Amino acid sequence: METLGQDLETMRRVPLAPEHVDAICAIGGEKVYPAGSIVMDIGEAMDRFVYVLEGEVEVVNPYTGERMFEHALGPTQFLGEIGFLSGSTNYLKMRAARDTRVIEAPRKGVLDLMSRIPELSDHLITVFAARRRKQFEISNAAVKVIGADRDAKVQAVERFLSRNRIPFQSFDMDATDRETVQVCSLIGHEPAVILGVDKRLEDPTPRKVAQYLGLDLDICSQRTYDLVIVGGGPAGVAAAVYAGSEGIGALVIEDTAVGGQAGTSSRIENYMGFPTGISGTDLTWRGQVQAMKFGTRFVMPRRVEAMSRREDGAWCLTLDDGDELCARAVLVATGVQYRRLPLENLEALEGAGIFYSATEMEARFCARTEAVVIGGGNSAGQAAMFLSRAAAHVHLVVRSGNLAASMSSYLIERLQADPRVTIHYHSEVTALHGEDWLEGLTLKTKDTERRIDTRALFIMIGAAPNTGWLSGHAEVDPKGFVLTGAAAGQADDYATTAPGIFAVGDVRAGSVKRVASAVGEGSVVVSRIWQYLEDTRPDAA
């Protein structure tokens, strides 16, 4: 995974080893595409591996029909990107630039080869991941999000796509540039998502978009998985990697986007192995790719609402739309979410100047305005540093009298030394101003009050665990955190009071609220789950 950022032009010159090509040919068959014919279309499921023997395949602009890049794929090269691992939707239109002969092999067969031949797996995943990264960075895709930037629903869709590393282009209906006007004319100036030229999703939501793009996997209610991991933050993704590597049939259910709360962090600098820092989204995306390599599946955005236990001991989880799936073991890795402040008009302004994450998606609203961040933890400190690049000034609002107990020392020192950041201790926001969009807030500091004119408020306080769906099964503490280990009467540190249910990461009572510790717990718990599955096999003695 260290080579994710490797230049694509270097990668395209490295052919597959002859023995790897022979293995692919053995499970595939030849096909000829005449010049001008479509080899792979937008919206098509990536269910086949295409290896070029002769000819040339080019990426085509679906709107103009012209070649999109100078370089094309020729002999010894192959089509596809990271979505191939999960069989999701293809985002590029691929055309034979001249008569082209290829080998086409079924996706499942190639995945089987990858599981048996690590060198082949490494090569394909490196190229696939680099292609997806490049597409995302240059916003090269047939997926177009059209709507007013200030529309909270449009922001939700863009945030979902961005955090899941889905390449897309965004068009603000309030803009007047020629390209935007042309694209908006396709939909009659109503918010929509367009895939290619002729597929349009009206009134888009993250869930609709996931279904539209093949991210919302077809879950069979009759199938029983070995393990269902609820939550796709660092702990859940780490468990997904290790579960897959141990041959455990696992499914990860995430209600927003892979990365969890860590995915909202623009830069994590104290995670081992990344001396210059890495965003939470990048870190967990790399882990997701690793997990998919080992066969773990991810489905999003889906939410678990209830659960029950079958007579055979398996757990059945009811999802938000009534779907049900079962598993012999369940890992609770739902993490926590930031608490809402008891402020009038808060809900109406969420997405309209009030945000709960600080990434490029939200930072664009900070230009030429003062930004306010509420919170005293690392996430709040990282957000303040990141936003200071875009905002005129950043105010960090802290309820206590210092940051030492809740924030890393290196962040405190940077914040205190940065003239673009002001820390307000013993402070709280008591009122919000604005109707359609946040215009300002009232800041109370001890015995004084002042108004700060701002169009961007970031709330990063508290930790509210998502554990209501466990009611009546695994016990939680008064704050809703899952009891494990000795507190649950168990010898295993991650076992709960319910057999077959384990918990790791921030949702676990007494856990250390750090990304590294969450990853560690997610990695370690898999050995306990493997042993539980072995002990409870139907044919176990």
Q: Rounded to whole angstroms, how far apart are CA atoms 131 and 80?
A: 8
CATH level 3 topology of 8-137:
Jelly Rolls (2.60.120)
Pick from 392, 389, 373, 385: which is nearest to 410 by CA? 385
Q: Rounded to whole angstroms, how far apart are CA atoms 538 and 541?
A: 9
- Kindly report the pTM of this predicted structure: 0.88
Cis bond before residue 301 (omega within 30° of 0): yes
Please, what is the Cα angle at 165 between 162 and 168, to 5 degrees? 65
Q: How far is CA 251 from CA 100, 128, 239, 245, 474, in A?
A: 38, 22, 11, 13, 20
Side by side, the strands of the sheet bearing 143-147 are 169-172, 143-147, 192-195, 199-202
Instruction: Give the contacts of 376 (CB within 8 A, at least 6 positions apart).
Output: 398, 399, 400, 403, 406, 407, 461
Q: Rounded to whole angstroms, how far apart are CA atoms 415 and 395?
A: 10
Q: How far is CA 530 from CA 83, 291, 292, in A?
A: 28, 16, 19
pLDDT in tens, the chain (541 residues): 333 334 444 444 578 999 999 999 999 999 999 999 999 998 888 999 999 999 999 999 887 888 988 889 999 999 999 999 988 888 889 999 999 999 999 999 999 999 999 999 999 999 999 999 888 888 776 788 888 788 888 898 998 998 888 888 888 876 655 666 566 565 566 788 887 777 888 888 999 888 888 776 665 544 789 999 999 999 999 999 999 999 999 999 998 888 888 877 778 888 899 898 888 889 999 999 999 989 899 988 899 999 999 999 999 999 988 888 999 999 999 998 888 899 999 999 999 999 998 888 899 999 889 999 999 999 899 999 999 999 999 999 999 999 988 899 999 999 999 999 999 999 999 999 999 999 999 999 988 999 999 999 999 997 789 899 998 999 999 999 999 999 999 999 999 999 999 999 999 999 988 899 999 999 999 999 999 999 998 776 5
Q: What is the CATH number of domain 224-337+465-535?
A: 3.50.50.60
Residue 63: CA count within 13 A, CB half-sphere: 11
CATH class assigned to 143-212? alpha beta
Among left, alpha and beta (phi > 0; psi -120 to 50; other), residue 284 is alpha
Q: Are 507 and 335 in contact (CB under 8 A)?
A: yes
Domains 8-137 and 346-459 agree in fold: no
Would you kindly state where each structural domain of the chain is located, as residue ranges?
8-137, 143-212, 224-337+465-535, 346-459
pLDDT attached to residue 143: 84
CATH superfamily of 346-459: FAD/NAD(P)-binding domain (3.50.50.60)
pLDDT attached to residue 186: 59
pLDDT attached to residue 446: 84
Q: Rounded to whole angstroms, how far apart are CA atoms 133 and 279?
A: 14
- In what helix (H) or strand (E) does residue 107 lie, and over which residues does it extend? helix 107-116
